[in-house]
Amino acid sequence: RAKQWYQRRVRALKSVAGFSARSVELFKKIAELSLLRTGPLEVDVKTQADTIKFLNEVLCCEVENIREQWESKMEEKGDVDLLFVETSNAVSYVQETLHFFVPVLKWILVKTSM
């Protein structure tokens, strides 16, 4: 029983951490592709920024959904609290990637105005 509790706890934390890491990696790839673009833009920079912001919001909500799924399987309050703290950290981590995207958007704006 103790082993199952520990395994469930580890799987829950890995799920949250893994999804947030993949989300950050997704933004990194989007930034790389945006910087490599050589042709004219199909949409303006504001639309790109709005789309990236929306994607960030969706990914943060999904981190919360993962927490909720695991929370229902947790038996002890300490585990729920730990999962909540880790989820909050993961959401903050994903939200921070949005700030790192600002220089990319500025570069795209400069590049398209040339």
Question: Sorting pLDDT into bands at 50, 70 and 90, what band is 42?
Answer: confident
Q: Computed over its alpha carbons, how large is the radius of gyration of the chain?
A: 18
Q: Is the pTM of this model over 0.75?
A: yes
Q: Is it the case that residue 1 has pLDDT exceeding 80?
A: no
- Eight-class DSSP state of 40: -
Question: Sorting pLDDT into bands at 50, 70 and 90, what band is 100?
Answer: confident
Share of the chain above pLDDT 70, in %: 96
Question: Sorting pLDDT into bands at 50, 70 and 90, what band is 20?
Answer: very high
Report the 10 Å Cβ neighbour count for 55: 15
- How far is Cα 114 from Cα 99, in angstroms, rounded to an integer? 24
